[in-house]
Structure 1
Amino acid sequence: MSTVTTEELSATTLLRFATAGSVDDGKSTLVGRLLHDSKSILTDQLEAVERASASRGQEGPDLALLTDGLRAEREQGITIDVAYRYFATPRRRFILADTPGHVQYTRNMVTGASTAELTVILVDARNGVVEQTRRHAAIAALLRVPHVVLAVNKMDLVKYEETVFAAIAEEFTAYASELGVPEVTAIPISALAGDNVVDPSANMDWYGGPTFLEHLETVPVSHDLAHCHARLPVQYVIRPQTAEHPDYRGYAGQIAAGTFRVGEQVTVLPSGRSTKIAGIDLLGTPVDVAWTTQSVTVLLEDDIDVSRGDLIVPSKDAPPTTQDVEATVCHVADAPLTVGHRVLLRHGTRTVKAIVKDIPSRLTLDDLSLHPHPGQLVANDIGRVKIRAAEPLPVDSYADSRRTGSFILIDPSDGTTLTAGMVGESFASPEPVKDLSDEDGWDF
């Protein structure tokens, strides 16, 4: 087990990262090797893996079992669900999302990478860049993940040849650059043998860069969201109505970004009513200032109508509200998304009825060309959509805020998540919208 002390943990930064790659590229083995060699697993966990490996006739421990926790995953030898792991070294704390490689579960990569500051994309050195590699790179670019690591795995199976690594790194970096990925760090590894995962490889003396763990520990990470556009999605209205607080009315939620202060002029959206913050309660204690990721209860000076789904913002920095949203999306459901599709749009804590007005284009992963007006998006497609919501929504650009610039589309009949969207452009004065109302009450 790691020997990190409480004092050391308090001084370290946190890195959220996700792994992605094709089936059998070795993601789970890499994560298992990372946890094992960095001494971040408990003795009983290792013993359980050793027993499970022995029962399957394997001579040594199968480190992939440290993350493939579902019975179906172990039986099939693939990752299905997103496996989250928490570990630490003396230099940094980590939250890892190990995402599936099978194309059927690409939707889970969107989930795992949506909050990541770094994405690790694995490539089998024998196969090079494949379609799923390009899809994962496109999703990382779409989600605006700041750092991408290309881990060229199974170098032991290509005799640790530098030319093999160099060719894959060059092809992937060129593709990622076209997508707009700001930074790619390529590292040759063998997760099974442990080369360049935690310890430098004696088999690749031609590589002079950091090991995988060294890069994770030193990559610059910024969590300074306190100076972003301040946003508080209201999750719950609190009215205890006790003898001690007969008139208490508070609006609770987790601050999505920015900082709020007592006395600050704020606006409640989408109504547009303005007031001032009369108080802020944090864990039941009054405070003068609260900032992003803190869960707080805000009290307002004026008695105005505020309910779940509303957004509290500084009056001087309020986003526009619009019923028409244009976004880039990744379609994650098996059923296609079509023009005229009636959906529920969930933005923050607000859910409204909406209609897919148009699908202007679909991205072709091979050459990054756009297929105009495809009419529909099928599972794992990336494309542009125009959506008309039944009510005004206060949306930010995803480039400005990953929290309030994103949304999901939901099937109203069974609650299935259909599409994950990133707002690219919201237009307050759009072209005339075709009347898509019907007898079911979807009259916008």
Structure 2
Amino acid sequence: MSTNETEANKYLDMDLLRFTTAGSVDDGKSTLIGRLLYDSKSIFDDRMEAIEESSKKKGDEYTNLALLTDGLSAEREQGITIDVAYRYFSTPERKFIIADTPGHVQYTRNMVTGASTANLAVILVDARNGVIEQTCRHAFIASLLQIKHIVLCVNKMDLVDYSEEQFHKIKDEFKTFSSKLDVPEIHYIPISALYGDNVVEESDNMPWYKGSTLLYTLENVQVSGDYDHVDSRFPVQWVTRPQSTEYPDYRGYAGQIAGGVFKPGDEVVALPSGFTSEIKEIHTFENEEEEAFSPMSVTMTLEDDIDISRGDMIAKPDNQPTVGQDIDMMVCWLNKEPLDPHGKYAIKHTTKDARCVIKEVKYKVNINTLHRVEGDKEIGLNDIGRIKIRTTKPLFYDSYKRNRKTGSIIIIDEYTHETVGAGMIL
């Protein structure tokens, strides 16, 4: 095997961390990501030269690293982030996918989109302002979406003379709020994204800080235990029938494993039929696998030719998901038109398409205080509330807290086909 092939295989086998950035307007999210990309040598020279030239023309004292992520013309003109910007980079330790989400309240729904697949959330706080409403809002959403790791970056420390006292004041404020949340691991790092303090390199300006830099934290946070490797769940996305002379009777079931571990020889049950069989083979694109687990995408074959279609689920007989049509869930509303309390909507759950009717709006959540608002049950854009729905077909689900894939539901307007809500099953 050549050196290039060895390096390529090493890269493909590297661990992947998905993380999202959040914070209020002008807290420096885009600048921080630009700094990460720049200092980790993940920028092409011609791209960097173009940004340096643009900064010179505007008379900026420093290179505007935010231009590395703010890709829309409206973002560059207004100096704000509007859409979710995804960026990719790697270090010798890990591969990363970053979702840079907007800070404006009216774009909170975009944070839900960016954070829905994240393992970790980097929440920025302006060292001058401390913990504000948007800080609490983003931390609550991260907790609701079962992100188990938060890094609170106190940015712009250069503007408060790298004050240790100010950093600890903000840290204590956030600790008080986060004690109400369901987040097992929180890191606190004082940084200056503009100058690079504690982003990739340790800061000489804050000798009192003895913790890790942001990049070191991202490289070493352990997320493998965040996946559900206990409850075996395989939503069938596609039934493969090649119809070739080489494999005349081949019938494979393709999809992404949502939980647990599957091995050839395992007894499995197909839902909703309830028929059982054993796994014959498990294939990925290149190999036959001895075992497969979340989030691998595979094709399975079974020993018996049973009726399985898209939207069905393969599980273990002694550990099956809940099967039901009455679903109790939290919902983040993403549409300008408020939720119709008795409306009908299309839904998507794992690989299954169905329809539902809203049976009840139980309450809305005050994101700033985390209190239930029982009196006001109108759920509008960016609101979060608890609802109950009834579906036209039985769903095979777990609670969102147990499994983010089998516990999530997308709500879709039947007429406009817009995604209007993101649901998390309780």
329, 332, 335: which one aligns with 1:333: 335
2:133 is matched with 131
2:416 is matched with 414
Q: CA deviation at 1:10?
A: 6.7
Distance 2:114 2:46 in 1: 27
Q: Which runs of 5+ in 2 are unaligned?
A: 1-6
1:142 is matched with 144
- CA separation of 1:181/1:297 partners in 2, compared to 1, >3 Å: closer, same or farther? closer
- The 3-state SS of whatever aligns with 1:107 is helix
Distance 1:8 1:246 in 2: 36
Q: Which runs of 5+ in 1 are unaligned?
A: 425-444
Distance 2:171 2:344 in 1: 43
Counterpart code for 2:243? Q
1:320 is matched with 322
- CA separation of 1:114/1:224 partners in 2, compared to 1, >3 Å: closer, same or farther? closer
Q: Is the 8 A contact 1:238 1:252 kept in 2?
A: yes
The answer to whether residue 58 in structure 2 is matched with residue 56 in structure 1 is yes
1:115 is matched with 117
93, 100, 103: which one aligns with 1:101: 103
1:68 is matched with 70
Q: Is the 8 A contact 1:226 1:291 kept in 2?
A: no
282, 294, 297: which one aligns with 1:295: 297
Counterpart code for 2:67? L
Q: CA deviation at 1:150?
A: 0.9
Aligned residue pairs total 421
- The 3-state SS of whatever aligns with 1:317 is coil
2:4 is matched with none
Q: Is the 8 A contact 2:229 2:293 kept in 1?
A: no
Q: CA deviation at 1:139?
A: 0.6
Q: CA deviation at 1:391?
A: 0.9
Distance 1:37 1:71 in 2: 25
17, 37, 40: which one aligns with 2:39: 37
Counterpart code for 2:304? D
| Percentage of matched positions with identical amino acids | 55
Deviations 1:6-50 (A, max 9, x none): 687577533221110111110000111111122222212211211
- CA separation of 1:354/1:7 partners in 2, compared to 1, >3 Å: closer, same or farther? closer
Q: CA deviation at 1:147?
A: 1.0
Higher mean Cα deviation, 220-229 or 30-39? 220-229
2:3 is matched with none
RMSD: 2.2
After the TM superposition, which parts of structure 1 deviate over 6 Å for at least 4 consecutive aligned residues? none
Distance 1:178 1:48 in 2: 45
Q: Is the 8 A contact 1:253 1:295 kept in 2?
A: yes
The answer to whether residue 244 in structure 2 is matched with residue 216 in structure 1 is no
1:148-159 superposed matches below 5 A = 148-159=150-161
Higher mean Cα deviation, 137-146 or 298-307? 298-307
| TM-score normalised to structure 2 length | 0.92
Distance 1:226 1:367 in 2: 31
Q: Is the 8 A contact 1:141 1:179 kept in 2?
A: yes
Q: Is the 8 A contact 2:228 2:402 kept in 1?
A: no
- CA separation of 1:287/1:160 partners in 2, compared to 1, >3 Å: closer, same or farther? closer
